[in-house]
Structure 1
Amino acid sequence: MPVSRIQARAPGKLFLSGEYAVLLGAPAVACAIGRHVDARFLSGDSAEDPEAARWRLAAGEILLRHGLDPAPAGRPLEIDSKALYSDGGIKLGFGSSAAVAVAVTGLLLASQDRGRRSPSIDRLRIADDLHRELQGPGGSGVDVAASLHGGVIAVEGDRVESLHWPEGLHCEVIFTGRDADTAHAIGRFREALQGGKGAHFSALCAAAEAARRVWDRSPDAIVAAVQEYAAAWRKLDRSAGLGVYSREHLRLESLARAADCVYKPSGSGGGDCGLAFSTDRGKLLALREAVREAGFPPLAVDLGVEGLRVRRQSDRA
């Protein structure tokens, strides 16, 4: 089949718990969301965007390192990641670069007629290598794993485990109105780690482990564990000067508390978006109106969606 008929779609992600702690070997829980990156080969004389060319050329090098045919990376690409940005062009904190890496990897592997089904090709490793090549080596890889696998996952070291979204657990996604520099934030975290904040780092890891343990239990237990994780994260943020809990997050936390909901930032950078949890949908609906009135737009996104999907023209929708 002509490669021009192949398209790849990869979802963004949200951290539910375990930010930063996963860099220390503790588990993180994340989910794929219903905002996607689409990648396809350009046909004819269509001009390739320079950013798409950058991803394509890097992907060719990664394929070669893995002993795969880099030839598909010789064709120009179109990458559409608009769904992971606000109307004003601000990134929403949904792991756009990881989703691009997964979509490009899926597209190039599928064009070799081996990547879609062959168990011998480690798609996660290839996508993660591509992401690190262009975004730097400091991240955890959780965002890449969530985009590739989809659903809800737990990541601990190299292990990825599929979970489910429990019935009765409700979550609201809220945009702070500004983006975050994740690489810079992780750099501050590593500096703080070297500076010695042992008790706070240990508390964060313990809270991350607790949040993972209760995920298969009741929604009430999950909400309580997320609250404990947020508290440990805030203490570390304050003591180490990470800058995650911005004035926007603090305001949203206050609004959530007033609505009897639990709030936490999502992702390592600060800024971007936060999550509010409750087992009472009515409380979250009330919070939605409160944050909107305060100038923070709630984001309507599906959680726990399907991961990477590669379609050929003959595939059914």
Structure 2
Amino acid sequence: MIAGEFAVLEPHYKLIVMAADRYVSTTVEESDTNTITLENFGLENIQWFYTDGAVTMASEDNRFRYTASALEMVCNYLQEQRIAIRSIHLTIKSELDDPSGKKYGLGSSAAVVTSVISAMLHAHLNETPDPKLVFKLAAVTHVVVQGNGSGADVAASAYGGFIEYVSFQADWLIDQFEKTTTLTQLIETPWEYLSIQPFKLPEHIHMAIGWTGSPASTGQLVNQILSLKKRNPVAYTRFLKASQEAVNAFIHGAQSNDIALLQQGVLNNRIALARVGSDAGVEIETHMLAVLSDLAEAEGGAGKSSGAGGGDCGIAFMTTKAQVDRLSASWHEAGIESLPLKMAPRGAAITNKPN
């Protein structure tokens, strides 16, 4: 996420999100029985069963939680379309984290859910599924399992690129999921609040992403920030206003090629996030994220935490490649790993398995 974190959880507040060029792949093969392999975890050929609208796994391993829910959601949708569900073996492989085991906080659960749903739809529909269908099925899955969230990481996974995003609101979606008679009805109904629009950064802006070396608990941070709405509504409202102004400055700066305005939006969003974290009693901008951002400013750019904060990644916007190179060197000296991530122009896509 680039700008607008936490505020996006409220109706009509915009967020800018980017799909990164790290991927989750789901391979679908015909099989005599339904089985699944999670390659990264060494969990191989685990049977799964779809009965009476529910998916169960022949394993109690919690790492199947999102995968099983995604399978259940897409199987229910296919059944409503009167499409026979074939016996399938799925192999899921993620490259979101470093091979050494470092977890960069790149939204793995959203990517897994989106990948599984896209692969299953393609296998049964024999055509590339509509990104809107993939997004909606994945968003329902993610919110039902997680209980909260904006769906922005799901949108990035489904659509790719940079996105100007307004959330459907998790409470609204859970309520609609429980009320509607069929999943098809929920998918085909216009979703209140939701807006997904392509967004473009100026060509002469250079983005750098750094990992601070400590993982964050997104769900816990979200709950603590949302609790501020009841405990201190004045502080929460102040944050929403500051975030909205910062995101609007970022958007208008990008649209008008006003780099100074774009960077001011980043700086103001950083300040708003740090203040709401302080008000809520949580550390959104950790010491290392502060160092990451301060070093970006020292090189003539602007930096902030990316996503929920509390660790994981930060992002910086610079005006030249030379600035990025100097910043990467400064980050390295400070113990921050510069990640070679770029924008992925496509979201969930179908590729042929090599022979």
TM-score normalised by the chain length of structure 2 = 0.76
- Is the deviation greater in 157-166 or in 104-113? 157-166
Aligned match of 2:8: 22
The question of 1:124 aligning with 2:135 is answered yes
Native 8 Å contact 1:186 1:269 kept in 2: no
Give the total of aligned pairs.
298
User: Aligned partners of 1:290 and 1:123: how far apart in 2?
Assistant: 40
The question of 1:37 aligning with 2:24 is answered yes
- Is the deviation greater in 287-296 or in 192-201? 192-201
The question of 1:48 aligning with 2:58 is answered no
Q: Which consecutive unaligned segments of at least 5 residues does structure 1 have?
A: 1-14
CA deviations on 1:269-317 (whole Å, 9 max, x unpaired) are 42110001111222221111011111111000112432111123599xx
Aligned match of 2:211: 175
CA deviations on 1:137-189 (whole Å, 9 max, x unpaired) are 21100000011111111011311001223200101110010111000000111
User: Aligned partners of 2:65 and 2:275: how far apart in 1?
Assistant: 39
Residue among 54, 61, 84 paired with 2:72: 61
- CA shift, 1:258, in A, is 2.2
User: Aligned partners of 2:275 and 2:199: how far apart in 1?
Assistant: 28
Cα distance change, pair 104–258 in 1 and its aligned pair in 2 (3 A): same
The percentage of aligned residue pairs carrying the same residue is 26
User: Aligned partners of 2:85 and 2:202: how far apart in 1?
Assistant: 41
Residue among 274, 287, 300 paired with 1:234: 274
User: Aligned partners of 1:314 and 1:253: how far apart in 2?
Assistant: 42
The question of 1:208 aligning with 2:194 is answered no
Q: How does 1:1-317 map to 2 (within 5 A)?
A: 15-25=1-11, 26-41=13-28, 47-48=44-45, 53-66=64-77, 67-68=80-81, 72=85, 74-81=87-94, 83-113=95-125, 116-117=128-129, 122-134=133-145, 136-157=146-167, 158-195=194-231, 196=233, 197=235, 198-220=237-259, 221-313=261-353
TM-score normalised by the chain length of structure 1 = 0.85
User: Aligned partners of 1:30 and 1:165: how far apart in 2?
Assistant: 11
SS of 2:124's partner is coil
Native 8 Å contact 1:27 1:212 kept in 2: no
User: Aligned partners of 1:290 and 1:206: how far apart in 2?
Assistant: 30
Cα distance change, pair 43–62 in 1 and its aligned pair in 2 (3 A): closer
SS of 2:19's partner is strand
Cα distance change, pair 72–263 in 1 and its aligned pair in 2 (3 A): farther
Greater Cα radius of gyration, structure 1 or 2: 2
User: Aligned partners of 1:109 and 1:52: how far apart in 2?
Assistant: 22
Cα distance change, pair 257–118 in 1 and its aligned pair in 2 (3 A): closer
User: Aligned partners of 2:340 and 2:152: how far apart in 1?
Assistant: 22
User: Aligned partners of 1:289 and 1:94: how far apart in 2?
Assistant: 23
Compute the RMSD of aligned alpha carbons: 2.6
The code of the aligned residue for 1:102 comes to T
Native 8 Å contact 2:286 2:309 kept in 1: no
Q: Which has the higher contact order (CA 8 A, sep 6+)?
A: 1
SS of 1:144's partner is helix
SS of 1:76's partner is strand
Q: Which consecutive unaligned segments of at least 5 residues does structure 2 have?
A: 38-43, 47-60, 168-193
